[in-house]
Amino acid sequence: MDKFKLTNENISIAVETVQNFLGRYKVDSKDVIRTVFALEDTLLNYRDAFDENTECSLKIIHRLGRIRVELTVSGNSFDPFTADDDTDFSRLLLSGMGMAPVWRYKNGQNIIIFTPRKKKPSQMVYILAAVLLALIGGGLSSLLPQNARIFISEQVLTPVFDKFLGLLNGVAGIMIFLSVTWGICSVGDTTTLSTIGKKMIGRMLLMMTLIPTVYLLCILSLFDVSKGVEAGAVDFSGPFGMILGIIPSNMLAPFLEGNFLQIIFIAAMIGIALLVLGSKTTLVTSFLEQANAIVQLIMEVICSFIALIIFISLYNMILTGSFSVLLEIYKAPLLILGGCLFAICFYMFFVCIRKKVNPGLLISKIFPAFLIGLTTASSSAAMSTTMESCEKQLGIDRKLVDFGVPLGQIIFGTASVIEFLVLGLCMAEIYGTAITPMWIVLAIFTSVMLTVATPPIPGGSVALCTVLFSQLGIPLEGLAIAVAVDVVADFFITATEIFCLQSELVVLSGSLNMLDTGKLQSKMP
């Protein structure tokens, strides 16, 4: 729409125009509703803050499969979304996930950007098609002469696969740096998190380490673990060396060498410094926000080719006679599923004992959001149901829900840590990487850090699989297999993390006196 004034009639026309446009381009129905309501609320806020004669314009952009609704309002600087620190913090988290509008002020214009997402087919469909085509192509290729198979493998498939891995690795380092740095900066200031936020993050990191470690100890007997040092000797150089190894000797070497733990250390250090300096670094934080969005888009585009890369990798395995590696990965999905059930049982037992809740009642209250996660593999799709269940069924204070659910969906991933650990163990066993006590400590630490650093984009975990393999000394040839397992397991992992997040918020809210125990223990209406 061209320039218009904020009358009731024009607001209705603008909202209807956007709704019709999003419907035409097959935007997810929930995103259509979310965007339309947010747009209408924004227009009304500006009308109330200014007046009906305020000029604004609306642009709807569809480019490269992505949709952006851009609203421009002339006048003084006014953020229509800011109410208080906690609300603003939650909005920053949601905007980083692509689930909330973004506001900025430039040259006398208030600019609000909405980014609804189009409905996409499940990635599993593409992965299964890639596997099937690789099997068919591999079978037909057996009719070719050996020289032809060697030529296809060495001159075509291997170079393409190596280039893709190089591109993925190159962008992954920058993505992790920006994701961690911007994630810390987006807190706003050092007092925003307050005691509640610090306690929440501390508990989440503790449980993300504790539960996977206990599960790891339970399944470790299934793998061949090397002693690493002679019996009776105590080697402190390993853990001490690992701690010192996280600290880089200079700021550029980690990016050139692909040392991702050092990259995370630098990102955290810079993010905290920017957080402390606050308003003095407005230009830098604005640059980080925009750079983070750019790199995440690039990574999303790269990861959209992952099905093709899986096809190339599996097809190449068949040509070179190493397809048997795929048959050895059977333990991974089973152990990941077992880990998900372990985490669910742990939290269910913990909550039921601590809060004296009937297990069946607790499951019935958490189940709606759990089911959405299980069927869609999307925590974003389940967010509204999760927040509603936490407040209305589990009795968690609304303030904690608004703060904790967005934050938890970004950093809290017990099942993701378990998946990284299981994939690391299975692939190390297949490719003959020594599994030593120090290797296990490094695997736990790396898995937790990567889970926290995972960007909220489709395929984000794929990029981090390359990081995991690089840190643990696992050949990147196994990446395609790990990605295929990840896509299949993603449904169970997402549902498990939704279950664990709600359970964790129940325990946390109880310790903060922000839990309505009567509502938690009462039957559902």
Task: Look at 226-230, 266-270, 298-302, 455-459 and tell me which has the smallest mean pLDDT.
Answer: 226-230
Q: Which burial class, exposed, middle or buried, applies to 255 when counting CB atoms under 10 A from its CB (0-12, 13-18, 19+)?
A: middle
Check pLDDT > 90 for residue 345.
yes
At 403-444, the pLDDT tens digits run 788 778 878 889 999 999 999 999 998 888 888 888 898 899
Is 123-221+245-323+330-521 CATH 1.10.3470?
no
Closest to 292 in 3D by CA, of 314, 318, 274, 312: 274
Crossing angle of helices 158-185 and 460-472, in 10° steps, is 100
Residue with tokens 């007997």: 221
For the entire predicted model, the pTM comes to: 0.76
Sheet holding 4-5, edge to edge: 4-5, 55-63, 66-74, 109-114, 102-106
If pLDDT is split at 50, 70 and 90, which confidence band does 120 have?
low
CA 312 – CA 161 distance, rounded (Å): 7
Which fold would CATH assign to domain 4-114? Heat Shock Protein 90 (3.30.565)
Greatest alpha-carbon span in the chain: 82
Check pLDDT > 80 for residue 507.
yes
Do the domains at 4-114 and 123-221+245-323+330-521 have one common CATH topology? no
Where in the chain are the domains? 4-114, 123-221+245-323+330-521
Check pLDDT > 50 for residue 31.
yes
Between the CA of residue 324 and those of 290, 321, 478, 479, 493, what are the distances in Å?
Answer: 44, 8, 12, 15, 27
Cα-Cα-Cα-Cα dihedral sign, residues 453, 428, 330, 149: positive
At 84-106, the pLDDT tens digits run 444 444 455 555 555 567 777 88
